[in-house]
Amino acid sequence: MAFPLNPLLLATEAAPIPEVQGWAEALPGAPPIIDLLQAAPGYPPDPRLPDFLAQKTRDFVTSTYTPILGTSGLRAAFAAELSSTYGGRIDPGQTCITAGCNQAFFIALIALAHHGDNVILTTPFYFNHQMTLDMLGIQSRHLAAGAQNGFVPDPQEAAAIIDGRTRVLILVSPSNPTGAVCPPEILAAFFDLAASRKIALILDETYRDFLPAGQARAHDLFLRPDWHETLIHLYSFSKAYSLPGYRVGAIAASTRFLDQASKVMDCLIICAPHISQIAAQFGVENLAGWRTGKRRLMEERIEAFHHGLERDAPDWTLGSIGAFFAYLRHPFRNLTSIEAARRLARQARLLCLPGSAFGPGQEEYLRLAFANVDSSQMPEIARRLAGVMSDE
């Protein structure tokens, strides 16, 4: 190649999922591969949604641009749903519709920080968050959230690593990769910390529709009259309504922040796809019951995974489980997490991600994403785990 590439991009680690998917090409033909790689629902949307969209696609307007921050219909529906869910008062003007939650995060970081600044990122982290920071030249200061604390980060430890160049605190709850949920009081403490240090709190709640049974509300942050002075809230419609390929997410934040974020939106994509926004609005307005049913479905899968592991694979320690994820401690103390994941692929035809994809100190763990496997497959997953030999 005759021309140089951006050195920040060259230094950014590649996403791990395509690499592990490549391992499958070399595997023998039987038994069938069980793919536990990607956190995408394995079930189709409610049939009412594609039926509705089939009519809408005939309308020319669905192939046109929307306003940069999204259609008025979806912004109003999303603001109303947020207000109802959290008991606060969110105005449609405090929302922005993006092409997926990854784009929402990218937009937020460009709006909040630049080369030489630093942000607080909890480990284990969502790998796309670290990749974004690396390619933008923004330093990440890792805040360890370990098994001893249920993979929930400590606000006091975060306070100790904030300095004059810190711009953002980043939290994901329920967590990707662990499924762990930050209790409301911990989220409140992080909000207070960010507010006192005059930095932003990014709270990614992509999986908030899959909170544990009995937890109706994740936090009370939107009840604070000044929430928009500190909080940048991220969301994905993809998981709730099984629309990952439609690429539609959202930001809730101050209008001052969104005025600047709109500049980034305009340069990246102009607006989220029109038909995707229509799909998301239909979901918000019509599919609350269906969404609740899928939450129960995930609870059943979690229970089935627990039962299968305890009965058939006791050597595999469950570090944490929730939302779409099981974060599993593998029993091979002489192997790295990549080596352990390769061994599962070869011996058990189970595809999962190594803990090293989620930051330092994760070599003992593997992430199994069970959103695309039925509860009936959990015993088979446990049996395959138990059958993996410690030596080859």
Q: Sign (positive/negative) of CA torsion 207, 210, 213, 217?
A: positive
The C-alpha atoms of residue 316 and residue 339 are separated, in whole angstroms, by: 16
Q: Sign (positive/negative) of CA torsion 167, 173, 177, 180?
A: positive
How far, in Å, are 27, 110, 167 from residue 23 at the CA level? Answer: 7, 34, 39
Residue 117 has phi, psi (to 5 degrees) of -80, 170
Contacts of 294 (CB under 8 A, 6+ apart): 41, 43, 209, 210, 240, 242
Count CB neighbours of 98 within 10 A: 29
Q: What pLDDT shows up at residue 1?
A: 66
Count CB neighbours of 61 within 10 A: 9
The C-alpha atoms of residue 92 and residue 168 are separated, in whole angstroms, by: 24
Q: Annotate 306-349 with three-state secondary structure.
A: HHHHHHHCCCCEEEEEECCEEEEECCCCCCCHHHHHHHHHHHHC
Report all structural domains of the chain as residue ranges with CATH numbers, in order of start. 7-44+290-387 (3.90.1150.10), 64-286 (3.40.640.10)
> Tokens 């189709």 — which residue?
44
Count CB neighbours of 166 within 10 A: 21
The C-alpha atoms of residue 237 and residue 249 are separated, in whole angstroms, by: 6
> Tokens 């060259």 — which residue?
10
> Tokens 């395509």 — which residue?
18
The C-alpha atoms of residue 119 and residue 165 are separated, in whole angstroms, by: 8
212-233 b/e (C-beta count within 10 Å ≥ 16 → b):
eeeeeebbbbbebeebbebbbb
The C-alpha atoms of residue 221 and residue 271 are separated, in whole angstroms, by: 28
Beta-bridge partners for 197: none
Question: What residue spans of 113-169 are helical by DSSP H?
Answer: 127-136, 155-160
For the stretch 166-190, pLDDT in tens is 999 999 999 999 999 999 999 999 9
The C-alpha atoms of residue 366 and residue 189 are separated, in whole angstroms, by: 30
Which residues in the chain show pLDDT less than 70?
1, 216, 390-392
Residue 104 has phi, psi (to 5 degrees) of -55, -45
Contacts of 319 (CB under 8 A, 6+ apart): 147, 151, 178, 327, 328, 329, 365
How far, in Å, are 49, 181, 249 from residue 176 at the CA level? Answer: 27, 10, 16
Q: What pLDDT shows up at residue 25?
A: 81
